[in-house]
Amino acid sequence: MRIARNFFALAALAFAVANAACDDPTEATAIVENRFDPDATDGGASPKTAGGQPVFTVYKAWYSTALFVDPIAAGGASGETRIVGGTPDYAYALLAPDYDPSAGPPTSLVAVRTRDKIAGARGETLHIVFSPDKIAGPCSGEAPLTQDEYDFITQRIFPAEFDGGATLAAAPCTGAADAGTDG
């Protein structure tokens, strides 16, 4: 009987310690920032940057165990979301070129990841930045992602978007007239 009481006392203590760690006021949080240019236009019907690149909405983003589901317009940021800090990893996003939320879900998406692995630390807010100079993938000036990386993003992280009919944009970095060229 005494052994059982000691076991339950230790289990209760372990639970209290684990629960206190979850409620730690120094938890790590993250904010997704969309740093694509929101104001540039080419005089046409849709906004374009000076180089003919679409304005991108960060449609969805994922980092570690946190999913950011609300679209973030160019120049905007998400609210803070709690994350698991510590281990560096990539953040992933689906970008929607020239996205109009009133038109429903986007039909064309661009899969990207952060160029470098990032990590949040307890008590800090990690700023996850998506911009041409901070991403790997189309429109980044870097080599495109490998097929395995695209498969990971589209089949493991964001499968519902592609099961729902969206397609990967063929050449999202330029206007529709350049759809056959590499971005």
pLDDT in tens, 7-42: 445 555 555 545 544 555 568 999 999 998 876 544
Q: What is the mean pLDDT of the chain?
A: 77
What's the pLDDT score for residue 162?
84
What's the pLDDT score for residue 46?
46
What's the pLDDT score for residue 169?
74
The SS3 call for residue 110 is strand
Closest CA relative to residue 56, chosen from 64, 48, 45: 48
What's the pLDDT score for residue 92?
97
pLDDT of 167 > 70? The answer is yes
Residues making up the chain, counted from first to last: 183
3 compared with 157, residue with greater pLDDT: 157
For residues 83 and 63, the answer to whether their CB atoms sit within 8 Å is: yes
DSSP H helices, 23-95, are none
pLDDT of 114 > 90? The answer is yes
9: left (phi over 0), alpha (psi -120 to 50) or beta: alpha
| Token output for 139 | 């429109």
| Token output for 170 | 């063929």
pLDDT in tens, 65-88: 899 999 999 999 999 999 988 889
Closest CA relative to residue 33, chosen from 83, 78, 96, 91: 78
Task: Provide the pLDDT confidence category of residue 51 given band limits of 50, 70 and 90.
Answer: low
